[in-house]
Amino acid sequence: MIKHHQLDDMEVTSFHTAKKGNWCSGDAYYISSDDDYVICAVADGLGSGEEAMEASSAVIRCIEEHEDESVEELMARCNNVLLNTRGAVLTIIKLDIPSKEIVYSNIGNIGCIFYPPSGKLVRPIPSRGYMSGRRQKFKSQRIQYEKGTTFILYSDGLRFDPVFHAFMNGMPSTEKAMQQVIDSMTDQSDDTTILIGKVAPEN
């Protein structure tokens, strides 16, 4: 299912679908904004089916309840709620509007690429592993952003094709870029979640 989210400082188009033959998805996502930030997250419960859905949903509920906290605090909270669950992988990006920075934190195989309008793509360094409630430290990266910067955030149900870079660079809209990505997909053997976003350009 494709959904468009028009925010004051960003537009985001989401695509979310369950593994072929499953009634539910083990993936979940969250998009929200306030005066000073925009937050996007994708979580993927380990495996598939109801237990995976319960794990990823617990993560998203936690983010929704505490979205005003720092990305590092959110990662720690999400890890805590996954105790006695199957576990999950997670990426959070938070657009800090006053500082013009994107704060990125990750654990596991949720892909993320940024495309500044005036330069080379930025692929943050992911962290191996997953969240399960056990104690661990979470790192964050800060990336300066420009107006018009675009990004793609995706679970491992999407097999990233280098042709997608062309869809993301100079895209007319996040909706069109999403449709191009979906039309290029050939494999639906896993739950798939994709967020494509664009920081609002200068007026």
pLDDT tens across 75-120, in order?
999 999 999 999 999 999 999 999 999 999 999 999 999 999 887 8
CB atoms within 10 A of CB 104: 23
The CATH fold of domain 2-199: Phosphatase 2c; domain 1 (3.60.40)
Burial per residue of 166-176, b for 16 or more beta-carbon CB atoms within 10 angstroms, e otherwise: ebbeebeebee
Question: Which of 49, 165, 184, 58 has the alpha carbon at shortest distance from 113?
Answer: 165
pTM of the full predicted structure? 0.94
Domain segments of the chain as ranges: 2-199
CB atoms within 10 A of CB 94: 23
Percent of the chain scored above 70 by pLDDT?
Answer: 99
Helix (H) or strand (E) holding 199: strand 192-199
Residues 101, 143 contacting (CB under 8 angstroms): yes
> Is the confidence at residue 62, as pLDDT, over 60?
yes
